[in-house]
Amino acid sequence: MKLEQFTRFDASERVRLDQLLQRPASTYQRGETIIPAGKKVDHIHLVVKGLATRAKTLRDGGRQLMAFLVPGDLCDVEVFVLEAMDHEIMALNRTTCVLIRADEMERLLTESSNLTRALWWSTMTDSAVLREWIVNHGQRDARERIAHIFCELLIRYRIVGQAADNVFEFPLTQEELAEASGVTPIHVNRMLQELRAAGMIELNNRMLRIVDFERLAGVAQYEASYLHLVRTEKGDPAVAKRVGDLVPVTGKGLLHDA
């Protein structure tokens, strides 16, 4: 679970979390709305399989993808504060979510200050991702934006053990990648061809392989400090092993600005 990137839970907390994960699950097909904008939700959706996105759709049909949700991510912790979702959650491939009743999670938070802090960390990390995406759109060119998205996804998939040999499922169409990067699909196609030709990526059958992370991170000016990988930075062997030895060309280290 994503919250364990912040801290190790004790045995009783682990049991309570495991009990929550035994709750009913719902599976959504590619393109299906998991949570529509404007809906009041009474369950927290935890992604356990697949890939989802936060999105806003305009009246003219234009759509902006604002963040990706990988296994372990909570879709809607806003349920504790907001009356209704101000954006939609959509499945980008076959995606399964465990549904945790909001009142159950609230009770658990009153029982465990450790979990409460971890949930705050998760919320702040989600906000940090949004800030990084704003910088991506405002300050990086198309090639850098797409390279940045690829670097982020690789690290997040490595953390949850779903990117062996730097390969992970990548179901996005060029149109969806354009909606995530703020450029046209034609421009996305051109950038993908450039990254392929440069030997940095391979993209086949909806599987993306990062061939040369160091060069790709250099293109993107990528540093992962915004992901706040606390346990990795503190030397947690289990998490650090999954992240591996990914180091950007700056030489500062992937996880902090030492």
Q: Please tell me which of 78-82, 116-120, 204-208 the model is most confident about, judged by mean pLDDT.
A: 204-208
Q: How confident is the model at residue 245 (pLDDT cuts 50, 70, 90)?
A: low
Residue 157 pLDDT more than 70? yes
The residue ranges of every structural domain in the chain are 1-113, 140-258
Terminal Cα distance for the chain, rounded: 28
Mean pLDDT of the chain: 85
Structure tokens at 120: 């705050």
Residue 32 pLDDT more than 80? yes
pLDDT in tens, 81-112: 677 888 999 999 999 999 988 888 778 778 77
Domain 140-258, CATH: 1.10.10.10
Is CATH 2.60.120.10 the right assignment for the domain spanning 1-113?
A: yes
Q: Which residues of 171-195 are buried (b: 16+ CB within 10 A; e: fewer)?
A: bbeeebbbbbbbbeeebbeebbebb
pLDDT in tens, 199-244: 999 999 999 999 999 999 999 999 998 988 766 555 565 655 556 5
Residue 257 pLDDT more than 90? no
Number of H helices, E strands in the chain: 9, 10
